[in-house]
Structure 1
Amino acid sequence: MGHWQERTELLIGQEGIENLGNKHVLIIGVGGVGGFAAEAIARAGVGRITIVDGDVVDVSNRNRQIAALVSTENMSKVKVIGDRIKDINPDVQLETKQIYLDGENIATLLDEHAYDYVVECIDTLTPKVTLLTTCIDKKIKVISSMGAGGRMDPTQTKVARLRDTYNCLLAKKVRKMVGTQRYRRKIKVVFSPEVIDKSKVEEVKGVKHKRSTIGTISYMPAVFGLTVASVALRDLLDS
């Protein structure tokens, strides 16, 4: 009977297996995009993983989120994804945090460990920007997901620097908030320039951490999440 990583080892070698096994990846947001990113990072054999998300599984998540099943409704997303990660690799050093990030706890989180990579999949603009700029200031490698919602063509998904994004409203808002070219040049993102139909977006009132809801299809958050994971894993293997 072979080892669970034998196919990965065939591709990246024993040195690559040991390299990833010694890395610590922080994944912030394990919903549509981040849940798939966490799964791919775990299956690649990253030895230490910290996942952060303050949300619970909702019935409306079931069309696109790997954590969302009838049996997991109302469970915390970090619990569901954390259990999957441990079921994939029982030897992983896993830390789960069911918290929402804000301006006060982001720096504290980033200072807790010497993370080798941060995977940022936050939906809310202010903590997203604060997290990204703080990572750059602290010289922590980071990959960020821009907007997967409203899009249907996975072949348009791209990896770029923030400054080179276009046709993405979330990326435009992030560019504006980070302000300086220094951040725009250094922040690496996954985005799609596919033009979205604005009629597929609804404003949300009275819901904490959410201002709008946008139409989504099953595969696009997965495409973004797996692309985000690929960037992090390839960078880690090159380091």
Structure 2
Amino acid sequence: MSHPLFQRFELAKSPEALKLMQSTKLLLLGCGAVGGMALETLARSGVQFFVLVDFDRFEPSNTNRQVLATQETMGQQKAEVARLRVESINPDAKCVAVNEKVNGARVLELIKQHEIQIVVDCIDLFVQKTEIIQACLDAKMPIVSSMGAARKHDPSKINVVQLDQIRCCALAKRVKSKIELDGRDCKDAVCVLSLEKPAPHPKDADGVKMSLPSYAVMTSMFGIWVGYAAIERIIGGKFIVSKLK
């Protein structure tokens, strides 16, 4: 076996698959609920070079769904905590933490600077997400993007699809519409989304919408699906997507 930490992965896939994972340079955008679990999946599957991007810090409300949010990490930069997490899993890993809110142009800079081979997008900001997907499409950079996990309850409805195949996800529909409005074909953009109809948005006694509800089951499963999609792309050279009827 080539690496004692990843013997079981090597048995599940192959020695060649592990080598591909270990040689991949990966850019992860967002180290919160979905991104934290995607990172956990990828770090434990052999990826050894990460650029980790997140502008935010951990706060108490993150605790119910973000694997990196603990009493010890409250107030700390998410990207820095993510870097330490990867290094604690695999001492051979190299990570670059970027404590910024990035747009499409900045992502292209990071791709060029670090010779990135695949982008994993787990941010939840519509404008930045759309810019980043557009930039990756223009650069022909493989990207898998997580869509909305809030107000969803059934993990069996999560799937990997092409962005032009989306349904039942308000965020994905907005992203798709903006990309197509700008004259781009979004069929090469791959996303993880839920086919479940979202639950109603809760309101307070005055009828004002409250924070978007989400919990660990859904965000963690989204992260694992994102990690799975990236692994299949790294090993097999293409994303494995479902064709929706």
Fold similarity call, TM over 0.5: yes
- Residue 48 of structure 1 deviates from its aligned partner by 1.1
Report the residue type matching 2:233 in the other structure.
Answer: D
* Residue of structure 2 in register with 1:163 after alignment: 164
Structure 2 residue ranges without an equivalent (≥5) = 238-245
Task: Give the 3 Å change call, closer, same or farther, for CA 44–201 of structure 1 in structure 2.
Answer: farther
Report the residue type matching 1:217 in the other structure.
Answer: Y
Distance 2:14 2:194 in 1: 32
Q: 2:227 aligns with which of 217, 226, 229?
A: 229
Report the residue type matching 1:159 in the other structure.
Answer: V
CA contact (8 A) 1:25 1:118 kept: yes
- Residue 213 of structure 1 deviates from its aligned partner by 2.9
Distance 1:162 1:130 in 2: 14
- Residue 198 of structure 1 deviates from its aligned partner by 2.8
- Residue 116 of structure 1 deviates from its aligned partner by 1.3
CA contact (8 A) 2:36 2:68 kept: yes
CA contact (8 A) 1:201 1:214 kept: no
Bigger shift: 175-184 or 52-61? 175-184
Task: Give the 3 Å change call, closer, same or farther, for CA 62–137 of structure 1 in structure 2.
Answer: same
1:177-188 matched pairs, under 5 angstroms: 177-179=178-180, 182-188=184-190
Distance 2:74 2:180 in 1: 39
* Residue of structure 1 in register with 2:7 after alignment: 6
Structure 1 residue ranges without an equivalent (≥5) = 203-210
Distance 2:90 2:185 in 1: 35
Identity %: 30
1:36-47 matched pairs, under 5 angstroms: 36-47=37-48
Report the residue type matching 2:212 in the other structure.
Answer: I
Distance 2:26 2:106 in 1: 18
Report the residue type matching 2:213 in the other structure.
Answer: G
1:1-239 matched pairs, under 5 angstroms: 3-102=4-103, 104-179=105-180, 182-200=184-202, 213-239=211-237
Report the residue type matching 2:107 in the other structure.
Answer: I
Report the residue type matching 1:77 in the other structure.
Answer: K
TM-score w.r.t. structure 1 length? 0.91
Kindly report structure 1 stretches of 4+ aligned residues shifted beyond 4 Å: none
- Residue 38 of structure 1 deviates from its aligned partner by 0.8
TM-score w.r.t. structure 2 length? 0.89
